[in-house]
């Protein structure tokens, strides 16, 4: 407990400048949490000791003042970690020649932007975001060769490529709530052997996973 000893000239300082604070992992708080969980009463009492000086030093006395007993209940800290919005990359119509030859060879750029929103209002924030993308394929069963979405605008990362190999990829990490505008640039490898049909649509599914970087511990 902080400020458990020392001189206090103004009792009001116990509410402001010198509050008595128990560490969340202290034995006191652990016992209070255990009592709360079992439905038992748990109480705290403050003892203030002051010295009274008379004219004669030999008559110096110490007077102890006990506060009323306060019953405590320990509740979990309020706060949440949520993945509120993830980018949805819809690239629209892609030219057949760019599918066959690849976007790099054609120097063609297909880019769209969407929002990533993460909320972390916990006492000890900290999160990491990962994603994995399935193979880019059509309803007719055709698959494109390696497809990458090159993302920019992510927190702390200038550029990141998400490949359609269904492998978990670290996207970002942080300790704050925010909304980011993320731009996805479609990069297609060449597909010279593909037999495209009129109106054929290719799609891939991205799974986003948000995890806490803080270890889970019982409420203190």
Residue-wise pLDDT for 5-50, tens only, equals: 777 778 788 788 888 788 878 888 888 888 888 888 888 887 877 7
As a whole number of angstroms, the distance between CA 132 and CA 46 comes to: 55
Structure-token pair, residue 154: 């992510």
Structure-model confidence comparison of residues 215 and 210, the more confident one: 210
Q: What is the pLDDT of residues 70-119, one digit of tens each?
A: 787 777 767 899 999 999 999 999 999 999 999 876 666 899 999 999 99
In this predicted structure, the answer to whether residue 57 has a pLDDT above a threshold of 60 is no
- Give me the pLDDT at residue 179, please: 96
| Interval 111-139 mean pLDDT | 94
In this predicted structure, the answer to whether residue 219 has a pLDDT above a threshold of 50 is no
Q: What is the pTM of this model?
A: 0.65
All domains of the chain in start order, with CATH? 11-71 (no CATH), 81-212 (2.60.40)
Q: What is the pLDDT of residues 150-173, one digit of tens each?
A: 999 998 887 899 999 999 999 999
As a whole number of angstroms, the distance between CA 174 and CA 166 comes to: 24
**CA dihedral (53, 54, 56, 61) positive or negative:** negative
Q: Where are the beta strands (DSSP E) in 46-101?
A: 47-52, 61-66, 70-71, 81-85
Contacts for 33 with CB less than 8 Å, ≥ 6 apart: 74, 218, 219, 220
Are the C-beta atoms of residues 192 and 126 closer than 8 Å to each other? no
As a whole number of angstroms, the distance between CA 182 and CA 170 comes to: 15
Are the C-beta atoms of residues 87 and 115 closer than 8 Å to each other? yes
């Amino acid at each position: 407990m902080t400020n458990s000893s020392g001189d206090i000239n103004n009792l009001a300082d116990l509410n402001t400048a010198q509050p008595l604070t128990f560490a969340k992992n202290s034995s006191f708080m652990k016992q209070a949490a255990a009592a709360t969980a079992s439905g038992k009463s748990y109480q705290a009492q403050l003892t203030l000791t002051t010295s009274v000086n008379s004219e004669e030093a030999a008559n110096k006395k110490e007077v102890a003042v006990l506060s009323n007993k306060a019953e405590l209940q320990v509740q979990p800290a309020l706060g949440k970690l949520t993945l509120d919005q993830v980018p949805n990359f819809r690239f629209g119509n892609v030219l057949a020649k760019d599918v066959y030859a690849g976007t790099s060879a054609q120097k063609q750029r297909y880019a769209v932007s969407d929002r990533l929103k993460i909320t972390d209002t916990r006492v000890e924030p900290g999160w990491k975001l990962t994603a994995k993308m399935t193979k880019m394929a059509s309803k007719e069963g055709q698959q494109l060769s390696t497809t990458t979405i090159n993302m920019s605008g992510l927190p702390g990362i200038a550029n990141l490529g998400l490949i359609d190999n269904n492998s978990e990829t670290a996207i970002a990490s942080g300790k704050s709530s925010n909304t980011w505008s993320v731009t996805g640039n479609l990069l297609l490898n060449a597909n010279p052997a593909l037999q495209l049909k009129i109106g054929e649509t290719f799609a891939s599914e991205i799974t986003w996973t948000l995890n806490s970087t803080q270890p889970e511990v019982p409420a203190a």
